[in-house]
Amino acid sequence: AQRVTQPEKLLSVFKGAPVELKCNYSYSGSPELFWYVQYSRQRLQLLLRHISRESIKGFTADLNKGETSFHLKKPFAQEEDSAMYYCALSGLGAQKLVFGQGTRLTINP
Amino acid sequence: DTGVSQNPRHKITKRGQNVTFRCDPISEHNRLYWYRQTLGQGPEFLTYFQNEAQLEKSRLLSDRFSAERPKGSFSTLEIQRTEQGDSAMYLCASSPRDRHYEQYFGPGTRLTVT
């Protein structure tokens, strides 16, 4: 079965502090993992993809196949990072996305 | 705005009525997806099209739900005999042919069944 688990519904950190949003997945094959973000009053949008190994807006995420995790990290949080973050997976060559429940990140000034 | 558009943005209907939603994808995108999102949950996949062909349907999509994309452009999602459990945000997304993973989402249609 395909499943994505984000254990924290809410996460609050202070500006300048490190941020880690947790994501664990269950998938029998080789999945593709993504982080999508939804800022206040905006649409859901792709933040980053594990294959690209890019840093987007200072965020990085490493796929750990042994721990079946894809945690999102940023060393120094900024107030504009406050948003809803969703971890998602797609089977290799598949089209649909399976989303986690989401984590609402709040950056306090 | 050349993004994905959805109409209507809000729909309130009485239980038992039929409703139809429309999605207009980004023009050069050949794939179109429907998701449903309930409060406190992430989006759940319903169905997707490649051009006009409906290639996958979720088990969530009961017989009361039907989706079409007749000319490979816009898509409609119809719910017949609505139930209170159908109340949700219905999201549409599209993706380009060479980057299917990069799904562009619309603003959603919020359905309330009373």
Q: Is the pLDDT of residue B1 over 70?
A: no
Question: Among B36, B88, B26, which residue's Cα sits nearest to residue B67?
Answer: B36
CB contact under 8 A, A44 and B91: yes
Per-residue pLDDT band for A94 (boundaries 50, 70, 90) equals low
The lowest-confidence range among A54-58, B5-9, B39-43 is: A54-58
pLDDT of residue B10: 97
pLDDT of residue A85: 98
Does the CB of B24 have a partner CB in chain A at under 8 Å? no
Does the CB of A32 have a partner CB in chain B at under 8 Å? yes
Question: Which chain B positions have a beta carbon within 8 Å of A40's beta carbon?
Answer: none
CB contact under 8 A, B103 and A43: no
Q: What is the mean pLDDT of chain A?
A: 93
Partner residue facing B48 (CB), from A32, A88, A96:
A96
- B25-79 pLDDT, tens digit each: 999 899 999 999 999 999 999 999 999 999 999 988 889 999 999 988 999 999 9
Chain A: give the shortest CA distance to residue B64, in Å.
21
Torsion angles phi and psi, residue B108, rounded to 5:
95, 155
Does the CB of B33 have a partner CB in chain A at under 8 Å? yes
A24 CB-contact burial (10 Å; exposed 0-12 / middle 13-18 / buried 19+): middle
Q: Percentage of residues in chain A with pLDDT exceeding 70?
A: 97
pLDDT of residue B49: 94
Does the CB of B9 have a partner CB in chain A at under 8 Å? no
- A10-28 pLDDT, tens digit each: 999 999 999 999 999 999 8
CB contact under 8 A, B103 and A99: no
pLDDT of residue A28: 84
Mean pLDDT for A68-90 is 96
Residue to test with chain A: of B26, B47, B101, most A Cβ within 10 A = B101
Q: Is the dihedral of CA B111, B41, B63, B47 positive or negative?
A: positive
Q: Is the pLDDT of residue A96 over 60?
A: yes
